[in-house]
């Protein structure tokens, strides 16, 4: 009997996480605002879509606050393109969990300039040039300003266990 009750409760919780079409559209609209503000270096747009308590994790295991992310974008260290695919949205009350595969197109290192000094920058956006495939989890919260990004975790996908390593192929 306990197992049956736990099964029913688990099913109810998992079903509640599935967003309605309008909720999914709202969350993905916030994600699109984040992408556009990031790529277009729209600082006012980033101020709106990024939560004040943002915890932004890069695939190289570096972490940034809202202020640090915005500073990197202002100084030209942001990506020039972000494409999401295989996106799955789950809603838990006023929190949304967005899991995606992503292609991040970074600026070539010789085009990453710091602000006033004009030198080459070494921040988070100054990483691997060209397209980087990533697995990304975004967490958004809904408050008075609508959906805002409060957390981001990016990791590089690993090859399947049976895939040959580049060193073994030589």
Provide the residue ranges of all domains of the chain, joining segments of one domain with +. Answer: 19-157
Confidence (pLDDT) at 114:
44
pLDDT tens for 110-147 read: 554 444 333 333 344 445 567 889 999 999 999 999 99
Among residues 140, 169, 160, 166, the alpha carbon closest in space to that of 152 is found at 140
The pLDDT-based confidence of 13 (bands split at 50, 70, 90) is: low
The whole-angstrom separation of Cα 141 and Cα 50 is 10
Among residues 90, 124, 89, 119, the alpha carbon closest in space to that of 106 is found at 124
Residue 75 vs residues 78, 165, 169: alpha-carbon distances, Å: 8, 37, 40
pLDDT tens for 47-97 read: 999 999 999 999 999 999 999 999 999 999 999 999 999 999 999 999 999
What's this model's pTM, rounded to 2 decimal places?
0.75
Q: What is the fold of 19-157?
A: Nuclear Transport Factor 2; Chain: A, (3.10.450)
């Amino acid at each position: 009997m306990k197992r049956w009750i736990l099964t029913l409760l688990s099913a109810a919780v998992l079903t509640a996480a599935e967003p309605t079409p309008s909720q999914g559209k709202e969350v993905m609209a916030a994600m699109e605002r984040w992408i556009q503000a990031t790529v277009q270096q729209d600082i006012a747009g980033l101020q709106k879509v990024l939560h004040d308590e943002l915890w932004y994790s890069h695939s190289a295991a570096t972490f940034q606050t809202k202020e640090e992310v915005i500073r990197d974008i202002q100084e030209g260290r942001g990506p020039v393109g972000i494409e999401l695919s295989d996106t799955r949205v789950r809603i838990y009350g006023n929190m949304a969990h967005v899991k995606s595969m992503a292609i991040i197109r970074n600026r070539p290192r010789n085009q990453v300039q710091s602000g006033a000094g004009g030198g080459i920058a070494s921040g988070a956006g100054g990483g691997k040039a060209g397209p980087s495939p990533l697995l990304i989890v975004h967490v958004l919260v809904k408050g008075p300003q609508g959906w805002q990004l409060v957390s981001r975790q990016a990791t590089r996908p690993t090859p399947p266990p049976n895939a040959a390593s580049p060193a073994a192929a030589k």
